[in-house]
Amino acid sequence: MSAAILDGKKLAAQMRAEIAAGVAALKAEKGVTPGLAVILVGENPASVSYVTAKGKACREAGMLSREIRFPVDIPESRLIETIEALNADPAIHGILVQLPLPKGFSEKKVIDAIAPEKDVDGFTPVNVGKMLIGDDCFLPCTPHGIVKLIEVTGMDIQGKHAVVIGRSNIVGKPVAVLLSRKGRSANATVTLCHTGTPDLSVYTKTADIVVVAAGRPHTLTGDMLKPGAVVIDVGVNRVPDATKPKGYRLCGDADYESCAEVASAITPVPGGVGPMTITMLLWNTLESARRG
């Protein structure tokens, strides 16, 4: 079997065109331009490239993008004051603090400072709690994008066995919640695996859907899969590669070649989950601006 490629770039382009149309309509009808503020502390190369990509996507959709960069030694209190000012700024509908923050910052304190109604990343305790109990809220972008990608396969998720590898607050745990809740594109039986799971393949071999978000290359290999499974590879790992101009290449957490032999569909890295994460961020920002 050779898996179909779940093309995140293509789906993202379709959705971004819809979002851009929504932005234009909101401007025309209410004179409101959705605004997203992205805060970056320090110069972590991966974070710099994510922030740049978010700003570009925002402008391409016709939104206002405000990028705020701070040096690594900025006091935490100053960062929190900046967030509080953005909370009160009517031109800003979404606030995102690029994670991870440098050592010494309390991510919890900083995220807690974001007003839940502008928390377009869906990371504040209020939005996480609402997601858990099924209330209307901003869904976290990467998990929401993952569900959209699974929908592309046409698979009815209801009643399927989904295995999620990784239990982070930003990917693994929310993916498990979204796939197991009642409703459309959900209602799966979910197994959440992590570093305490002795043998991943015991679970993955019976999975119809495997979402791997471990942050380690080769966490999932083809021999761990049931034939026909859908594989969503969230990992973004930089692997040294002297043949590449930057000296590294990106790879996911799944061994692409062996998994593609067995799976029915698989996301590539790059070009799978990544473009969907930014798309769902734009989606949430537009939604926030519509709410006013």
Q: Is 215 in the site for ligand NAD (CB under 6 A)?
A: yes
Q: Is 224 in the site for ligand NAD (CB under 6 A)?
A: no
Among 273, 280, 281, 282, binds ligand NAD (CB under 6 A): 273
Which of positions 143-172 make contact with ligand NAD (CB under 6 A)?
A: 165-168, 170-172
Distance CA(132)–CA(126), nearest Å, equals 10
CA nearest to 132, candidates 181, 93, 87: 181
14 catalytic per annotation: no
Task: Give the nearest distance from C-beta 78 to ligand NAD in angstroms.
Answer: 26
Q: How many residues bind ligand NAD (CB under 6 A)?
A: 25
Toward ligand NAD, which CB reaches closer, 31 or 196?
196
Task: Give the nearest distance from C-beta 121 to ligand NAD in angstroms.
Answer: 11
Q: Is 280 in the site for ligand NAD (CB under 6 A)?
A: no
Question: What does the block give as tokens for 242?
Answer: 């002297």
Q: What is the Rg, in whole angstroms, of the alpha carbon atoms belonging to the chain?
A: 19
Task: Give the nearest distance from C-beta 49 to ligand NAD in angstroms.
Answer: 12
Give the burial class of 199: count Cβ atoms within 10 A of its Cβ; 0-12 exposed, 13-18 middle, 19 or more buried. exposed
Q: What spatial distance separates the first Cα and last Cα of the chain, rounded to whole Å? A: 49
Distance CA(13)–CA(33), nearest Å, equals 20
Q: Is 290 in the site for ligand NAD (CB under 6 A)?
A: no
Report in angstroms the alpha-carbon separations of 15 from 227, 243, 281, 289: 30, 34, 11, 17
Beta strands in 53-175 (DSSP E): 64-70, 94-97, 161-165
Sole window of 20-28, 75-83, 124-132, 195-203 interacting with ligand NAD (rule: CB under 6 A): 195-203
Toward ligand NAD, which CB reaches closer, 26 or 172?
172
Q: Is 201 in the site for ligand NAD (CB under 6 A)?
A: no
Distance CA(26)–CA(33), nearest Å, equals 7
What type of residue sits at position 164?
V
255 catalytic per annotation: no
The per-residue b/e assignment along 92-123, b for 16 or more CB within 10 angstroms, e otherwise, is bbbbbbbbebeeebeeeebbbbbebbbbbbbb
Q: Residues 118, 119, 121, 208: which is the catalytic one?
A: 121
54 catalytic per annotation: yes
Q: Is 47 in the site for ligand NAD (CB under 6 A)?
A: no
Q: Is 234 in the site for ligand NAD (CB under 6 A)?
A: yes
What type of residue sits at position 114?
I
Among 159, 195, 243, 246, binds ligand NAD (CB under 6 A): 195
The H or E element spanning position 146 is helix 141-152
Among 149, 179, 213, 231, binds ligand NAD (CB under 6 A): 213
Distance CA(215)–CA(252), nearest Å, equals 8
Footprint of ligand NAD (CB under 6 A): 142, 165-168, 170-172, 193-195, 197, 200, 213-216, 219, 234-237, 273-274, 277
Which positions are catalytic?
54, 98, 121
